[in-house]
Amino acid sequence: MIHPSEEFDAIVVGTGITGGWAAKELCENGLKTLVLERGRMVTHIKDYPTMNLDNWDLPNGNRMSREELKKYPKQSRVGWAPNPAIAHFFVNDLEYPYQETKRFDWIRGYQVGGRSLTWGRQSYRWSDLDFEANKKEGIAVDWPVRYKDLSPWYDKVEEYIGVSGQKLGLAHLPDGKFEPAMDLMCPEEDLQKALEDQFDDGRLLTIGRVANSTDTTAPHEGRNPCQFRNRCWRGCPFGGYFSSNSSTLPAAERTGNMSLRPNSIAYEIIYDDQQKRATGVKIIDAETRETQTFNAKIIFLCASAMASVGILLQSKSERFPDGIGNTYDQLGRNIMDHHYQLGASAKVPGHLDKFYKGRRPNGFYIPRFVNMGGKPVKNYLRGFGYQGGASRDDWTQSIAELGYGKGLKEAILKPGGWQIGATGFGEMLPYHENRVRLSTTQKDQWGLPQLDFDVEFRENEYNMREDIIRQITSMFKAAGFTDIRPYENETGPGLGIHEMGGARMGWDVKTSVVNRHNQVHEVPNIYVTDGAFMTSASCVNPSLTYMAFTARAANHAANLFRQGKFS
């Protein structure tokens, strides 16, 4: 048991993608570090109950009953979650409510490892096209960093987590330290060739860059290469994909410097007006409901973007009556996400003599190709990319009404034709009015104010969405695919599960919350390194960038600690 009287050099709030990295880097730098997680303990391998089950081993063929689904009215908006195989890694919405002035799909996982257990693993570097966009277009505020500041930290993270992918030599999607790329399917190669031959705007198709290790010689400290089971979201007993549980938290633990405390709901950072710094974190024990305080010289907020913003808003004092670091009303503003849930699917003629082995836990990627410095699209800024995949199947063959007897059995054993699909992921601009507040009327079961979201897409996003459908339809036609079916599902901010902003990075305390090293401007021994610090959104998956910034910030903090700056 960790006693509140213990003194720590650092406290890390959260154990997900960034919390694990903060813990690893701080502990390896010799700092005695307390890691707080609001959810239950999840131990690698031991606590993956469905990791080896097939769908027929699960209730209702891995489908939730109507009664069970009532617990997940918001988590189920994502379309693929929850189900019996992974529901234990997603929150029960009835137990963890929040308010929506405007619709916001907040998808969460409260356990050690957080959403690192269920993330999509797509790992792409940002470029200066992304870091410079706000300044060039006069949008929001300028990033106080550029690609050169992050490049060595991208290197460090990629080499450690294991990212498989193909080098392309693109300035706007920088190459990384890649392990061997996974193979494309033959219809994907058809689309790849069509883009090269029939379009002159630089568009191309590549295999996704994914944090599933493919190098049998890579020393990933207890992890084995991907086994191509595509059961990543259930927890991988091989450690084939990167998660905090299989990688960074064990690394932190090996140092002997980490103390991990699950079931610890951090809700306030303590500010000492005499010392002009934060001195600790208040928690509620989720099992006993006791309130405790833990002290440290450095605080890292890695609770996930919206949760970290909530903690900062709740951290009120005489100096900061509206939340710590919020003198200029910037905290909780400029909330962003990626917009998706639209694209197209099609049938692919031919290739009936070909099939594939295993279940590739990855798809293809079409990087951004619009608004790249040439002729701009007139009715929207920024851009989008596509993620997709091909497969060979025909689900109608196992419908009883469509066959029977010997013919049905033979049809089920024979694969159907090839199909392909792609989904667009578009950048959302940072709007000052898009914000999250503390509810003044609604509290959760712990007596803490619920978060209230007031976030929406605007004209720029909706105009982009029209082009996303236009472009993928034209690409499928160029590849000779048939029965092309564009689609656009109802969606809202949050559903991309890339929520970010609320404590953005910038040069000026009057227009941003944290500085270029992720320190809160007004309280520099608080670091915010999850998605809350993001100043703009790009159109690529953000987790690799979160990890690079976190590693950079943790080493910055460790260097200052050794210099006695936080004494």
Instruction: Report the DSSP pairing between strands 449-454 and 99-100.
Output: parallel
CA distance 404 to 419: 25
Question: Which of the four pLDDT bands, split at 50, 70 and 90, describes residue 398?
Answer: very low
**269 within 8 A of 315, measured Cβ to Cβ:** yes
- Work out the burial of residue 128: count CB atoms within 10 Å of its CB; fewer than 13 is exposed, 13-18 middle, 19 or more buried: middle
**322: Cβ contacts below 8 Å, ≥ 6 apart:** 313, 316, 329, 331
Which tens digit of pLDDT belongs to each residue from 361-387?
999 999 999 999 877 888 999 999 999
Q: Provide the pLDDT for residue 258.
A: 98
Mean pLDDT of the chain: 94
Instruction: Report the DSSP pairing between strands 258-261 and 264-272.
Output: unpaired
Question: Which of the four pLDDT bands, split at 50, 70 and 90, describes residue 395?
Answer: very low
pLDDT for 410 beyond 70: no
Q: Provide the pLDDT for residue 409.
A: 63
Question: Which of the four pLDDT bands, split at 50, 70 and 90, describes residue 310?
Answer: very high
Q: Provide the pLDDT for residue 368.
A: 97
Which tens digit of pLDDT belongs to each residue from 458-516?
999 999 999 999 999 999 999 999 999 999 998 899 999 999 999 999 999 999 999 99
Kindly state the average pLDDT of the residues 440-464: 97
**Strand partners of residue 388:** 364, 422
**402 within 8 A of 438, measured Cβ to Cβ:** no
Where do the CATH 3.50.50.60 domains begin and end in the chain? 1-154+242-336+499-567
Which tens digit of pLDDT belongs to each residue from 25-67?
999 999 999 999 999 999 999 999 999 999 889 988 899 999 9
Check residues 402 and 169 and name the one with the higher pLDDT: 169
Question: Which of the four pLDDT bands, split at 50, 70 and 90, describes residue 82?
Answer: confident
CA distance 175 to 541: 15
DSSP state of 352: T
Comparing CA positions, the residue from 512, 492, 493, 516 lying closest to residue 503 is 512
**302: Cβ contacts below 8 Å, ≥ 6 apart:** 12, 13, 14, 15, 16, 18, 19, 22, 308, 529, 530, 550
Kindly state the average pLDDT of the residues 552-557: 98
E-strand stretches of 491-546: 500-502, 519-520, 523-528
pLDDT for 399 beyond 60: no
Q: What is the enclosing helix (H) or strand (E) of 484? A: strand 482-488
Q: How many helices (H) and strands (E) does the chain have?
A: 11, 21
Kindly state the average pLDDT of the residues 191-207: 96
Kindly state the average pLDDT of the residues 124-128: 98
Architecture of domain 1-154+242-336+499-567: 3-Layer(bba) Sandwich (3.50)
Indicate the length of the chain as a whole number. 567
Q: Provide the pLDDT for residue 77.
A: 87
Kindly state the average pLDDT of the residues 279-301: 97
Q: Provide the pLDDT for residue 230.
A: 94
Which tens digit of pLDDT belongs to each residue from 251-271?
999 999 999 999 999 999 999
**Strand partners of residue 426:** 339, 384
Q: What is the enclosing helix (H) or strand (E) of 453? A: strand 449-454
